[in-house]
Amino acid sequence: MSFIYKKYVVTIVCLLAALIIPLTVQAIVTKHLDSFLKKYAPPQDVCALIEKNKEYLITLKNCYHAVHLNEIPGFYFKGTCINRIVNAIRLQNFIHVHNLTCLRIAKKYIYPIDDKLYIFAQEVLIGQKPLVPLSLQEVQQIAFLAEETGYKDFGWFDFNANLKRDIDDKIVFIDTENRSFYAAIQYLPNVPKKSRAQALYSLLFYCDCMTQEGADWLKNRVAYVLDVNADRYKNNIECVTILESYEFDDPDIHIKEVYKDIKNQRDACNMEKKKNKGRTRVPHPA
């Protein structure tokens, strides 16, 4: 075999490898993300409406607050932050594991448009019974969830903003973005840093939304938690929020791998954009 022939063979093999390998890598890289998108996709009729209105939805991609969609009845656009749906899944699983029968998390879905992941929330069907006053059992379950997960986003002095009572008489949590939880670096005055009491303490601002029995119980609970001499907290005042734990992830989804797939896909898109940008030519003047 001549040197020139060998050279041509090597060149062809390299070209084929350059075409095939990226496709294989792409298939492997996104398999966890694909599973996630498939499991948490909106209903088919909603997917059709999203496709129909995707040009409009693209204009909303940088919008942080929820947008009611007249084009998609019964749904809200909730931004492009995947953490909203990841945290919603974790909270719903937490509620299920601990049998918190009074509580529920608003359903959220995810749908890809171009190189972005769009989050949608299903509208909560409001029941006839008013949200407040919260019963003792409801206060206890909300307090338990707050204490154990670090959830704090109860509506900035307006319970009706982020909590709803649905037609099944369950208290529904609306917001689940990362800032809905206390992070390790946040703290309240006179409350131990990284304490379980952080989110629990914030509930005291809403005592007028509870029955007297519920409000009294909450005050006693907060006092107990703040007492560092209490047996349960004597040597353990730190609280791992649900943001820092994978315990309540969907067992069928490897969320760490999903995040890796998203990063790899984003990097690939950015590389492709740079590549295409480098190919653009300025027309030669006549």
Per-position DSSP letters for 2-64, written without gaps between them: -HHHHHHHHHHHHHHHHHHHHHHHHHHHTHHHHHHHHHTPPPHHHHHHHHHTHHHHHTTTT--
Q: Are residues 237 and 153 in the same domain?
A: yes
Q: Which of 247, 264, 279 is the last residue of a domain?
A: 247
Flag whether 111 is in a domain.
Answer: yes
Q: Are residues 8 and 108 in the same domain?
A: no
- Return d(Cα 127, Cα 9) in angstroms, integer: 72
Flag whether 103 is in a domain.
Answer: yes
Flag whether 87 is in a domain.
Answer: yes
Whether residue 165 contacts residue 126, with contact meaning beta carbons closer than 8 Å, is answered with: yes
Domain span at 199: 40-247
Q: pLDDT tens digits, residue range 262-280?
A: 998 888 887 877 777 755 4
| Domain count for the chain | 2
Q: Are residues 67 and 209 in the same domain?
A: yes
Q: Are residues 30 and 47 in the same domain?
A: no
Summary mean pLDDT of the chain: 81
pLDDT at 62: 74
Q: Are residues 123 and 216 in the same domain?
A: yes
pLDDT at 26: 44
Q: Are residues 20 and 139 in the same domain?
A: no
Q: Are residues 75 and 120 in the same domain?
A: yes
Q: Are residues 69 and 81 in the same domain?
A: yes
pLDDT at 224: 82
Which candidate, 37, 142, 38, 41, places its Cα nearest to that of 100?
142
Residues 6+ apart with CB under 8 A from 115: 265, 266, 269
- Interior CA angle at 131 toward 127 and 133, to 5°? 140
Q: Are residues 121 and 152 in the same domain?
A: yes
Q: Are residues 196 and 63 in the same domain?
A: yes
Flag whether 228 is in a domain.
Answer: yes
Residues of the chain with pLDDT below 70 are 1-29, 64, 156-157, 183-196, 228-240, 278-286
Q: Are residues 121 and 23 in the same domain?
A: no
How many residues does this entry show for the chain?
Answer: 286
Flag whether 281 is in a domain.
Answer: no
Phi, psi (degrees; rounded to nearest 5) at 149: -110, -15
Flag whether 49 is in a domain.
Answer: yes
Which stretches of 132-281 are DSSP H helices?
136-149, 159-162, 197-202, 212-226, 255-279
Q: Are residues 24 and 143 in the same domain?
A: no
- Return d(Cα 146, Cα 154) in angstroms, integer: 10
Flag whether 260 is in a domain.
Answer: no
Flag whether 138 is in a domain.
Answer: yes
pLDDT at 189: 55
pLDDT at 193: 53
